[in-house]
Amino acid sequence: MEPTTTIRSYIEDYIRKQGYTLQYFADISGVNAGTLSAIIKGTRPIAMAQLDLITQGMKLEEGYFYEIYGAECFVESAPHWRRLEPFLQRCAELDKLECIQKIIQEVTDDRSYISELFEMAEGMLERGQQQAARMLYECVAECEKYQHSERLALCQYRIFTLSLGQNQHDNLRAAVHFEPYINRLDEERQLDAIKDLANTYASLRYRDKAFDLAEELDQKTKILQSYTKKKIDKCDRLTAYPLFVYRAYSNLLKSSACEKQGRYEEALLYTEVYAKLAKVPEPDEEDQIYIDKFAGWAEANTYLYKLMMGDQNVLPAYVEFIERNEEEILPAIINILEAANKFDRNIDDILNRFSDRINSEINGLKGYTEQMKNEIYAAFLLERSLYHLNRHEYSEGLKQLMCCLRESVRFNNQTDIIHCISLYEKYKNMGTTEIEYQYKLIMMEVQKSYEKKEDLLCNLA
């Protein structure tokens, strides 16, 4: 199709080549003959619904004319929101993201559409059209980058959450970019933003940063609770959860940060705090869900911290807890593996007991963000590899190590990549030719990845 071809001329050529009368094409397309005539003559603009009917009547794929339609209606002439809105929505529905990008770049010179674009992005996000929504948020944020507005901050928050994925380097960059905007958000929305940011830094293993954000979350929630005496109805509140959840969760984050730094006694203290904070008077159905969650986490983490302090007497109770709470099997097994590696314990019976359920949960972790799922899976592979290597089961240990290295490369988790490489260098003489071959293939992937980055930097220079 030539760039100069208009939709009107394309329709006219199609009707002529097919030997149709105008009335016949009107009948098969479902567009009124008079309307169709006016469209071809150029005396009437084409509405989105009419364009879709005409496209269907010509037996073309949905959205076939969208690129030309966008140029004709919104680039070459002044756009009107009444026509722009359905076009952007249909592009989102059909995943025509390039069309959206081209149009919003053109129309943002008219700042009168910024409010509408933001509201549309919110609607797209609710409908799960995340990529299209992100484009609109980025457009609004760019137009308002010099404004000290809550809408700009909310756009940056949405962009941050939509940016999080499997690449840890990209996640760190997204977190650093978003952090300065938190205090511009509404006080209630700040709680979710701080929680999400703390989770991100925790997954990136910035323990001190996660702890500081958890403390900030605790303080801001306490202040909000002090002048919000009456319980806010779920339909009216801006927060994703009841207020008590944020204080309890902030202390859960603190306990987790302490645990990862080997400060188990402090971790136990924070566990006692969030166990108390998660008990609220006259809980409703929603409250009870979170009360039960925190009670389960408190019980499991109490076993864990005592186990990591060398108290093996809690292991039977911990295993019994896992039996009752199957959704926590994999995280709990990682903890038990870590304790076994630390204290040189044999837990073959526990691994065998849960082997089938471990494998099924790896493929279906629930209740965690993608970041946390990746972190949990990599931690499991690494701890299991260490367990077998420590017990001189080199074949199985190196096999698990290659799986961990492969996943760490895929997630761009540099800390685990370095750890895996150092372990391989230590035990490589115990490996087989197949393990050596797998290692070389993975290292070739790492090299290609760095070469791509270097090429990109050279092109940007």
| Residue 230 reports pLDDT greater than 70 | no
**Cβ proximity of 336 and 347 under 8 Å:** yes
Cα–Cα distances in angstroms (integers) from residue 11 to residues 22, 88, 271, in the given order: 10, 23, 69
pLDDT in tens, 252-266: 999 999 999 999 999
> Residue 443 contacts by C-beta under 8 Å, 6 or more apart in sequence?
none
Q: Which of 146, 69, 80, 147 is nearest to 107 (CA)?
A: 80
pLDDT in tens, 294-341: 999 999 999 999 999 999 999 999 999 988 887 778 889 999 999 999
What mean pLDDT is reported for the chain? 89
Q: Where are the domains of the chain?
A: 186-227+238-307, 310-359, 368-461
**Cβ proximity of 202 and 253 under 8 Å:** yes
Give the model's pLDDT for residue 4.
55
In the DSSP assignment, the letter for residue 216 is H
**Taking the CA atoms of the chain, what radius of gyration do you get in angstroms?**
29
Angle between helices 97-107 and 130-143 in degrees, nearest 10: 20
Task: Copy the structure tokens of residue 123.
Answer: 């609607």
**Cβ proximity of 307 and 335 under 8 Å:** yes
- DSSP letter for each residue of 333-377: HHHHHHHHHHHT---HHHHHHHHHHHHHHHT---SS-HHHHHHHH
pLDDT in tens, 10-53: 999 999 999 999 999 999 999 999 999 999 988 888 889 999 99
CA–CA dist 76, 69 (Å, integer): 10
**Cβ proximity of 264 and 240 under 8 Å:** no
Between 105-114, 148-157, 160-169, the lowest mean confidence (pLDDT) is in 105-114
pLDDT in tens, 362-375: 655 555 666 677 77
Give the model's pLDDT for residue 461.
45
Amino acid at 308: M
Which has more confidence, 461 or 323?
323
pLDDT bucket at 401, cuts 50 / 70 / 90:
very high
- DSSP letter for each residue of 219-255: HHHHHHHHH--SPPPTTT-SSSS-HHHHHHHHHHHHH
Query: Mean pLDDT across the stretch 205-225?
Result: 95
Amino acid at 176: V
Query: Which residue's structure tokens are 């929305």?
Result: 189
pLDDT bucket at 134, cuts 50 / 70 / 90:
very high
Give the model's pLDDT for residue 233.
67
CA–CA dist 242, 224 (Å, integer): 12
| Residue 145 reports pLDDT greater than 80 | yes
| Residue 135 reports pLDDT greater than 70 | yes
Query: Which residue's structure tokens are 């809408």?
Result: 151
CA–CA dist 382, 372 (Å, integer): 15
Which has more confidence, 243 or 165?
243
The CATH code of domain 186-227+238-307 reads 1.25.40.10
Q: How many helices (H) and strands (E) does the chain have?
A: 23, 0
SS3 at position 321: helix
pLDDT bucket at 2, cuts 50 / 70 / 90:
very low
